[in-house]
Every structure is written in structure tokens, then in C-alpha cells.
């Protein structure tokens, strides 16, 4: 589901905050009987990494095993549950409520002062688009030293109910709050050079390069569009000048290092235009090839925060 670009509003106290998105595929699994499960240990470990940095952070998470099968089962892979199908909306919202509580409790166990921000007051579904209306409430929580937690869910309006992808939500928040960085943690090393053939990753990828972004296969069984849509949403953020990364969330320590400004394993997403001067090697091409030394961390400025 598309989203209108949110307007930045109010004072900029939230500048310096990082937006972390934990992928649904990273934090959920499916039990042998088919029921969805939150990987609470992993969520708590990632929370510990965030807490250890002490940096102001907003957390967004995906729905993974809780969201994807429901979209297939109820046939809304296009992201829209039409008006009149309110029972589907009700069923999915109950499913996601279970996910949300389990995630929140695991984050708190990991040492974060985390508080859930419901999407209901935050966004509206009108004219086929989801709009983030105001981020003032999120900013306020952050200023109280709280980690606001948001997740992908369903928005509603006169026409029915629409999936608000957590990738889109994270991107909208990063732009609206002028975040210091957007870090999307997922269950891959980064963006693979040749997905399915090898695990080698792009160290940098230009989301505006149609050849590069087009080489990522579309995932038609994923209502949020999978890796291809993730790169597109990251490109939207990178275009505003915000350092943007897709990182390996499975690798212990990778998130903490990324929050501090140096990503050991992941892909920096760029979007056309001039490159900043803080990249590890100024003469490196926008799309980095496998020659990039894997041990070299991707960096962004760390003065804020
Ligand atoms: N080029 C690619 N690089 C990495 N992963 C890819 C690529 N193309 C498709 N994928 C798939 O996309 C998945 C990550 O997308 P997704 O499941 O939507 O993650 P998330 O839950 O973090 O949003 C990977 O686990 C992988 O299976
Ligand atoms: Mg996804």
C-alpha cells in the first residue's frame, strides 16, 4: 500500500533519533502446527543492543508469520480489505494484537523503556493512500526518554481497510522526524547481489538505478512487497539525505554497531545524486561490487544523538 509523504511538523527535537525497523521475518517464526510465534529471545537480544547504545531510537517492526499468511488466506495480497469485509479486519487485528504484546514484552525484558504507539490515531486511509497525519505524539515520547514502538498493521477509512507496511511506516517516520539514520534489520546479510545464487551482498546500492533495483525479484506472496519494496522505501529516505541501511539482524552486535555509525554487515542504500563525503572510500562506485572488503564497516556521521 502506498503512502503519502508525511509533512514534518513541530519543533525538531527529534533530530538525532534513529529509526530501527525489525523485519517480521527476523522476529517471528511459524510453529510446526502452523501457528505464528514471536522469537522473543531474538527481540530481547536486539533490544539489549539498542539499550546499550543509549541513543534515542524509534522502533518499528514487521508482522512476518502473523501478517503474511493472513493476507494469503483472506486474499488481500494487494493490500486492501474492501468495505464489507470487516470480520477479516477484526480477525487480523486480534492476531496482530497478540504479536504486538509479545514484541513489547520482549523489548522491555531486553532493557528498553518501550511503549506501544497504536497506528489508529497516527494515520488515515483515504483516496487509496495511507497518510501519516502527525508525528507529534511519537516525538513527545522520545523526548520523555521512551522508545516508541510501532508496527505494520491495518489502517481504515471510508473505502475499507488497507495494509500499512512497516517498511513504509519506518520510511515515513524517518522523513517526518529528520532522523539521523534509518536502519532496517532483516534476515539476510543485506541486499544480495544475486539472490538465490549466493549470499554475497551489495555494500552500497543505488535505489534509483533501475538495473540494480530491478534485479531484486518481486515477492508476489508478500503483501508488503518483500526486499524489492524495502529497497524502494529506503530509496525514498536516502533521497532526503538520511543515511539508510538494510542490515543483517541475525548477526549479534551488528545492530548496535550500525546505530553507532558503522555497519559491519549490510547494504547502504543510496539514491542517485551526489554522494556524501563520509563513505569509507570516496572513489567507491555507488553500487559496490564484490571487491568491497567485507570486513570494512559502512559508516555515517555520528555527531548527533
Ligand atoms: N536481493 C535480495 N537480497 C536479500 N534478500 C532477498 C533478495 N531478494 C529477495 N530476498 C528475500 O527477501 C527477504 C527479506 O524480505 P522480507 O521477508 O520482506 O523481510 P522483512 O521481514 O525484514 O521485511 C530475505 O529473507 C530473502 O528471502
Ligand atoms: Mg518485508
150 vs 48, 60, 97, 177, 182, CA distance in Å?
Answer: 18, 5, 12, 14, 14
Going from the Cα of 68 to the center of ligand 1, the distance in angstroms, rounded, reads: 13
Ligand 1 atom at shortest distance from the alpha carbon of 166: 23
Cα–Cα distance between 37 and 69 in angstroms, integer?
13
Q: Which atom of ligand 1 is nearest to the CA of 224?
A: 18
Q: Nearest to residue 149, comparing CAs of 91, 102, 90?
A: 102
Output the CA 222–ligand 2 centroid distance in Å: 7
Q: What is the pLDDT of residues 178-194, one digit of tens each?
A: 999 999 999 999 999 99
* Residue 294 pLDDT > 70: no
Please provide the average confidence, as pLDDT, over all residues in the chain: 88
Please give the grid coordinates belonging to residue 177: 522526524
pLDDT higher at 142 or 283? 142
Q: Which of 231, 213, 219, 217 is nearest to 171 (CA)?
A: 231
For ligand 1, what atom is nearest to the CA of residue 226?
A: 18
Residue 273 has a pLDDT of 53
Please tell me the least confidently modeled range out of 166-170, 201-205, 270-274.
270-274
Domains of the chain, first to last: 3-299 (3.40.1160.10)
Proportion of the chain above pLDDT 70, given as a percent: 86
What residues have CB less than 8 Å from 275, skipping those under 6 apart? 282, 286
Handedness of CA 194, 199, 202, 205 (dihedral sign): positive
Model pLDDT, residue 120: 83
Collect all residues with Cβ–Cβ distance below 8 Å to 249 and sequence separation of at least 6: 22, 23, 26, 42, 46, 185, 186, 187, 255
pLDDT digits (tens, 9 = 90+) for 221-261: 999 999 999 999 999 999 999 999 999 999 999 999 999 99
Structure confidence by residue, pLDDT tens digits, 128-167? 999 999 999 999 999 999 999 999 999 999 999 999 999 9
| pLDDT given for residue 290 in this prediction | 36
pLDDT at 303: 46
Ligand nearest to the CA of 187: 1
> If you measure from the C-alpha of residue 301 to the centroid of ligand 2, how many angstroms do you get, rounded to a whole number?
27
Residue nearest to atom 11 of ligand 1 (CA): 227
Which secondary-structure segment (H or E) carries 48?
helix 40-53
Q: How far is the CA of 154 from the centre of ligand 1 (A)?
A: 22
pLDDT at 301: 73
Distance CA(145)–CA(190), nearest Å, equals: 30
The pLDDT score that the predictor gives to residue 302 is: 57
pLDDT of residue 14: 64
Identify the three-state secondary structure at position 176: helix
Using CB distances shorter than 6 Å, the residues near ligand 1 are 23-26, 62, 64, 186-188, 191-192, 195, 216-217, 222, 224, 226-227, 230
pLDDT tens track for 61-110: 999 999 999 999 999 999 999 999 999 999 999 999 999 999 999 999 99
Q: Is the pLDDT of residue 283 over 60?
A: no
Q: CA 41: distance to chain centroid?
A: 20
Amino acid at each position: 500500500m502506498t503512502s503519502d509523504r508525511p509533512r514534518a511538523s513541530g519543533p525538531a527535537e527529534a533530530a538525532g533519533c534513529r529509526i530501527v525497523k525489525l523485519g517480521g521475518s527476523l522476529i517471528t517464526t511459524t510453529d510446526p502446527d502452523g501457528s505464528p510465534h514471536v522469537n522473543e529471545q531474538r527481540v530481547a537480544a536486539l533490544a539489549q543492543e539498542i539499550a546499550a547504545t543509549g541513543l534515542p531510537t524509534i522502533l518499528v517492526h514487521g508482522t512476518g508469520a502473523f501478517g503474511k499468511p493472513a493476507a494469503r488466506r483472506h486474499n488481500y495480497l494487494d493490500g486492501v480489505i474492501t468495505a464489507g469485509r470487516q470480520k477479516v479486519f477484526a480477525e487480523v487485528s486480534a492476531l496482530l494484537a497478540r504479536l504486538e504484546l509479545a514484541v513489547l514484552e520482549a523489548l522491555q525484558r531486553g532493557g528498553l523503556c518501550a511503549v506501544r504507539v497504536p497506528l489508529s490515531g497516527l494515520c488515515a486511509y483515504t483516496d487509496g493512500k495511507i497518510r501519516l497525519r502527525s508525528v507529534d505524539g511519537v516525538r513527545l515520547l522520545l523526548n520523555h526518554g521512551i522508545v516508541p514502538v510501532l508496527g505494520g498493521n491495518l489502517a481504515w477509512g471510508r473505502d475499507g481497510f488497507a495494509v500499512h507496511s512497516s517498511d513504509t511506516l519506518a520510511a515515513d517516520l524517518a522523513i517526518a522526524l529528520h532522523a539521523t539514520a534509518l536502519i532496517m534489520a532483516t534476515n539476510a546479510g543485506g541486499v544480495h547481489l544475486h539472490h538465490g545464487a549466493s549470499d554475497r551482498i551489495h555494500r552500497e546500492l543505488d535505489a534509483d538505478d533501475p538495473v540494480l533495483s530491478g534485479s531484486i525479484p518481486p515477492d508476489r506472496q508478500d503483501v508488503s512487497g518483500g526486499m524489492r519494496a524495502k529497497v524502494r522505501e529506503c530509496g525514498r529516505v536516502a533521497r532526503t539525505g538520511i543515511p539508510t541501511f538494510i542490515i543483517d539482524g541475525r548477526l549479534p552486535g551488528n545492530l548496535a554497531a550500525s546505530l553507532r555509525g558503522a555497519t559491519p554487515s549490510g547494504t547502504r542504500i543510496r539514491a542517485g545524486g551526489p554522494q556524501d563525503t563520509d563513505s569509507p572510500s570516496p572513489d567507491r562506485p555507488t553500487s559496490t561490487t564484490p571487491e568491497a572488503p567485507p570486513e570494512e564497516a559502512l559508516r555515517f556521521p555520528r555527531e548527533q544523538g
